[in-house]
Amino acid sequence: MAAKITASAPILLVKDIIHSANWYKEKLGFSYERFFGEPANFCMLHRNGFYLMLSKCNEDKIIPHWKVVDKMWDVYFWVDDVESIYNEI
Protein backbone atom coordinates (compact mmCIF):
# COMPACT_ATOMS: atom_id res chain seq x y z
CA MET A 1 0.00 0.00 0.00
CA ALA A 2 1.26 3.49 -0.84
CA ALA A 3 2.08 5.93 1.94
CA LYS A 4 -0.59 8.53 2.70
CA ILE A 5 -0.14 12.27 2.86
CA THR A 6 -1.55 13.21 6.26
CA ALA A 7 -1.24 17.00 6.28
CA SER A 8 0.17 20.00 4.47
CA ALA A 9 1.52 23.37 5.53
CA PRO A 10 1.59 26.25 3.08
CA ILE A 11 4.49 28.68 3.47
CA LEU A 12 3.96 32.41 3.12
CA LEU A 13 6.83 34.83 2.58
CA VAL A 14 6.66 37.89 4.84
CA LYS A 15 8.82 40.91 5.63
CA ASP A 16 8.36 40.81 9.42
CA ILE A 17 7.87 37.41 11.11
CA ILE A 18 6.82 38.69 14.53
CA HIS A 19 4.36 41.28 13.20
CA SER A 20 2.86 38.79 10.71
CA ALA A 21 2.56 35.94 13.25
CA ASN A 22 0.85 38.24 15.73
CA TRP A 23 -1.55 39.45 13.03
CA TYR A 24 -2.57 35.86 12.24
CA LYS A 25 -2.94 35.19 15.98
CA GLU A 26 -4.97 38.30 16.84
CA LYS A 27 -7.06 38.62 13.68
CA LEU A 28 -7.51 35.03 12.49
CA GLY A 29 -7.27 32.95 15.67
CA PHE A 30 -4.05 31.06 14.87
CA SER A 31 -1.57 30.13 17.61
CA TYR A 32 2.18 29.60 17.68
CA GLU A 33 4.66 28.34 20.25
CA ARG A 34 7.88 30.00 19.17
CA PHE A 35 9.91 31.80 16.57
CA PHE A 36 12.92 30.21 14.88
CA GLY A 37 16.21 31.94 14.10
CA GLU A 38 18.02 34.86 15.66
CA PRO A 39 16.69 37.28 14.67
CA ALA A 40 13.37 35.52 14.06
CA ASN A 41 13.01 34.32 10.47
CA PHE A 42 10.44 31.49 10.64
CA CYS A 43 7.25 30.61 12.52
CA MET A 44 4.74 27.76 12.41
CA LEU A 45 1.16 28.77 13.17
CA HIS A 46 -1.75 26.41 13.73
CA ARG A 47 -5.51 26.41 14.13
CA ASN A 48 -7.85 23.41 14.33
CA GLY A 49 -5.06 21.00 13.37
CA PHE A 50 -4.04 22.95 10.26
CA TYR A 51 -0.70 24.66 9.85
CA LEU A 52 0.55 27.76 8.14
CA MET A 53 4.25 28.58 8.00
CA LEU A 54 5.73 32.06 7.72
CA SER A 55 9.23 32.58 6.37
CA LYS A 56 11.10 35.87 6.30
CA CYS A 57 11.84 37.13 2.82
CA ASN A 58 14.70 39.58 2.43
CA GLU A 59 13.70 40.65 -1.07
CA ASP A 60 12.54 44.24 -1.54
CA LYS A 61 9.26 43.14 -3.05
CA ILE A 62 7.07 40.10 -2.32
CA ILE A 63 4.54 39.43 -5.06
CA PRO A 64 1.38 37.56 -3.96
CA HIS A 65 0.05 34.88 -6.32
CA TRP A 66 -3.12 36.86 -7.04
CA LYS A 67 -0.98 39.58 -8.59
CA VAL A 68 0.78 37.06 -10.86
CA VAL A 69 -2.24 34.93 -11.88
CA ASP A 70 -5.70 36.49 -11.93
CA LYS A 71 -8.02 35.13 -9.20
CA MET A 72 -5.30 32.91 -7.71
CA TRP A 73 -4.66 32.61 -3.96
CA ASP A 74 -1.66 31.96 -1.73
CA VAL A 75 -3.53 29.73 0.75
CA TYR A 76 -7.03 28.27 0.63
CA PHE A 77 -8.83 26.79 3.64
CA TRP A 78 -12.14 24.95 3.53
CA VAL A 79 -14.33 25.58 6.59
CA ASP A 80 -17.44 23.94 7.99
CA ASP A 81 -19.30 27.21 8.64
CA VAL A 82 -18.18 30.14 6.54
CA GLU A 83 -20.60 32.60 8.16
CA SER A 84 -19.26 31.81 11.65
CA ILE A 85 -15.66 32.24 10.51
CA TYR A 86 -16.60 35.48 8.75
CA ASN A 87 -18.32 36.83 11.89
CA GLU A 88 -15.39 35.77 14.06
CA ILE A 89 -12.87 37.55 11.91
Q: What DSSP character marks residue 80?
A: S
Determine the pLDDT at residue 64: 82
pTM value is: 0.84
Distance CA 30, CA 21 (A): 8
Determine the pLDDT at residue 63: 84
Give, for all 89 residues of the chain, the pLDDT tens digit: 899 988 889 999 999 999 999 999 999 999 999 999 999 999 999 999 999 999 999 878 888 888 889 888 888 888 999 999 899 88
Radius of gyration of the chain (CA): 15
